Structure formats: structure tokens, C-alpha cells
């Protein structure tokens, strides 16, 4: 047997994704490269590892056993690498964070210096909607989650990072001459919503319900970037986090419409499950956040205070 660790890594990812294409994406390899590694591994066994039925890839029972063994082998290799680095005084391991989609404008600034200081850390960052972020936390798939709406059904601990201001915005073509509009202006504008499960939508709907506004929902889109592009194109208006509009506001492509009760404000929190047993990497990151968050906010987000 002459199989390599790389072949085992590739096969393990194929067994997890049930797809050569998806495995290639996860491993940042080309599809042909993954196919070659699978073939080279398969050539060393007389029993098939995979089979294709109706153009769909399946892992055979034998393949599943090999995948289990591969995961165990790779885990041991990973542990050896960590122990070697640890003896050299390096902080090593994985830092796993799930982030709500708008949080992608926030979390990189809290990670940059920490990652620069520790070359041995591998970052796994999942950017998705609020429902999936909370699921990943509940299932213990991540060390931390970044949210602007706290889950009310989990026992969590948290660190408050910074305010999350949401404004009513539109493109720059229509004028809004009043200094302040009543909330009834929302009844006259075609509004663009985020999808169900979005934290931004949750905050927006709470405001609408609290003010008993009959709203004309123009459309529903599945990401903050999609909403922003629709607003820029003049398809409607939306309640959006300020944090994702820095460039558009500075260029004059979007405008904040002054409405009574705005900005709606929530708080960005870094959260984790109560009683979580932190790895050395996760513990070090939390200590870094406590020590450096005020400096980072001042340096990177001071522009938000203008609005």
C-alpha cells in the first residue's frame, strides 16, 4: 500500500460531500486533480470505494470504513503537527466562527491582528443567515458566533462588541427634502426585505409591528449584497445595517432617509455556549477580544459615528 495523506484527505472530503466537485471546492483544488487522487487511491484496493448510480456518487460500505480510518489517521497527524508546534512555543489549532451575513463587514477587523500574530492558527469562518449560525453554535460545530440578535432559546455567554445601526436607505435619484419623516413614509415606499431567518429582517419586522405599519413588500432577497444592489438599481428601499454601506454612502450612491425612530439599533455580540470547553486557540482569541476590541472599534469603525 502506497497511499498518501493527501489521497486520504481528498477521499475523506469526497465521502463527506458525496461529490467530487464539492470536494474540489472545499479543498481549493481543481476537479480533475481530485478525480486523479481518488483514482490513485482506488487503484490500491480491489474493492470499490465509490459507485455512481444515476449520475450520483455514493460511498460503498467498504469506502465508508476507509473514510473512518482516514479521518482517524489525519486526526493523529494533525495532533502531531500541533504538538510539534506547541513544543516550539507556537499557538496552533483551528478557530471556528459562524457569522451572520452582515457580520462579514465586522468580523475580519477583529480577526486580522490576531491571525497575524499566530501563523499556526487555521481559521474556519462560515458566513450564513441567523438560523444556520445559531444551529452551528447549538451543535457545537463552532467556537463562537457573531450575531446582532441574541438567540432566546440557548444558554449562552457573550461579549458585546459594537452597535449595529440600521437605517432606511434608497438610491440617490429621488429627493427627500424633509429633515425628518414620520414612520408613515414606510407605508408609501416599496420595501425590499431580507429572507426569513435573517437578523436584519427580524429587527425590521419588530419595528414595523411596533408601529403598526401596513407595509408594501416589494421583494425578498437572500443576502445583504443582493438587497444593496436592488436598492442601487432603484427597485425599492430597505432597512439596512450602516456597517455595509460605507463605500456607497461616501460615493453618494445611496442616501439615508431620515425617519422618526431611526436608526434602529441592535448590538453585535460574540457569543458561545455556556460551559463551552475552549481550546487554547479559542481561549486566546477571547482574551484578545477583551483586550483589543476598544482599539479596533476606534480605529476601524469610528466613521459610523458620523451617522
pLDDT, residue 105, reads 93
* Pairing mode, strands 254-256 and 156-171: antiparallel
- Per-domain residue ranges for the chain? 5-87, 93-161+267-306, 164-265
Which CATH number is correct for 5-87, 2.60.40.10, 1.10.287.3510, 3.10.129.10, 1.10.10.10?
A: 1.10.10.10
What is the pLDDT, as a whole number, of residue 129?
83
CB 89 within 8 A of CB 80: no
CATH 3.40.190.10: does it fit domain 93-161+267-306? yes
| Residue-level pLDDT at 90 | 66
d(CA 80, CA 46): 31
Q: CA dihedral in degrees (157, 162, 163, 169; nearest 10)?
A: -120
pLDDT of residue 82: 66
Q: What is the pLDDT along the chain (307 residues), one digit of tens a residue?
A: 788 989 999 999 999 999 999 999 888 889 999 999 999 999 999 999 999 988 889 999 999 999 999 998 988 887 777 667 666 656 778 899 999 988 999 999 999 999 998 888 889 999 888 888 999 999 889 999 999 988 888 899 999 999 999 999 999 988 898 899 999 888 889 999 988 878 888 888 888 888 888 777 778 898 888 999 999 999 999 999 999 999 999 999 999 999 999 999 999 999 999 999 888 899 999 999 999 999 999 999 999 998 8
What number does CATH give the domain 164-265?
Answer: 3.40.190.290
d(CA 124, CA 267): 23
Are the folds of 93-161+267-306 and 164-265 the same?
Answer: yes
Amino acid at each position: 500500500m502506497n497511499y498518501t495523506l493527501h489521497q486520504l484527505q481528498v477521499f475523506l472530503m469526497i465521502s463527506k460531500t458525496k461529490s467530487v466537485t464539492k470536494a474540489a471546492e472545499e479543498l481549493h483544488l481543481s476537479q480533475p486533480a481530485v478525480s486523479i487522487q481518488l483514482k490513485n487511491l482506488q487503484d490500491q484496493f480491489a474493492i470499490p470505494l465509490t459507485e455512481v448510480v444515476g449520475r450520483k456518487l455514493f460511498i460503498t460500505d467498504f469506502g465508508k470504513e476507509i473514510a473512518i480510518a482516514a479521518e482517524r489517521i489525519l486526526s493523529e497527524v494533525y495532533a502531531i503537527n500541533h504538538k510539534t508546534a506547541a513544543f516550539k512555543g507556537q499557538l496552533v489549532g483551528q478557530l471556528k466562527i459562524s457569522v451572520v451575513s452582515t457580520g462579514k463587514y465586522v468580523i475580519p477587523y477583529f480577526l486580522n491582528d490576531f491571525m497575524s500574530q499566530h501563523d499556526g492558527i487555521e481559521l474556519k469562518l462560515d458566513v450564513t443567515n441567523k438560523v444556520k449560525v445559531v444551529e452551528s453554535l447549538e451543535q457545537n460545530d463552532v467556537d463562537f458566533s457573531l450575531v446582532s440578535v441574541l438567540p432566546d432559546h440557548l444558554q449562552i455567554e457573550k461579549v458585546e462588541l459594537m452597535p449595529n445601526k440600521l437605517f432606511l436607505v434608497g438610491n440617490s435619484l429621488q429627493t427627500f427634502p424633509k429633515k425628518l419623516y414620520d414612520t408613515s413614509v414606510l407605508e408609501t415606499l416599496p420595501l425590499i426585505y431580507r429572507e426569513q431567518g435573517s437578523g436584519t429582517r427580524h429587527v425590521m419586522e419588530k419595528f414595523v409591528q411596533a408601529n403598526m405599519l401596513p407595509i408594501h413588500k416589494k421583494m425578498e432577497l437572500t443576502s445583504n449584497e443582493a438587497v444593496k444592489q436592488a436598492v442601487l438599481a432603484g427597485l425599492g428601499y430597505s432597512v439596512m445595517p450602516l456597517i455595509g454601506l460605507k463605500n456607497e454612502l461616501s460615493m453618494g450612491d445611496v442616501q439615508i432617509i431620515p425617519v422618526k425612530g431611526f436608526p434602529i439599533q441592535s448590538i453585535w455580540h460574540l457569543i458561545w455556549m455556556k460551559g463551552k470547553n475552549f481550546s487554547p486557540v479559542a481561549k486566546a482569541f477571547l482574551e484578545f477580544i477583551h483586550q483589543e476590541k476598544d482599539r479596533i472599534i476606534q480605529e476601524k469603525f469610528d466613521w459610523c459615528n458620523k451617522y
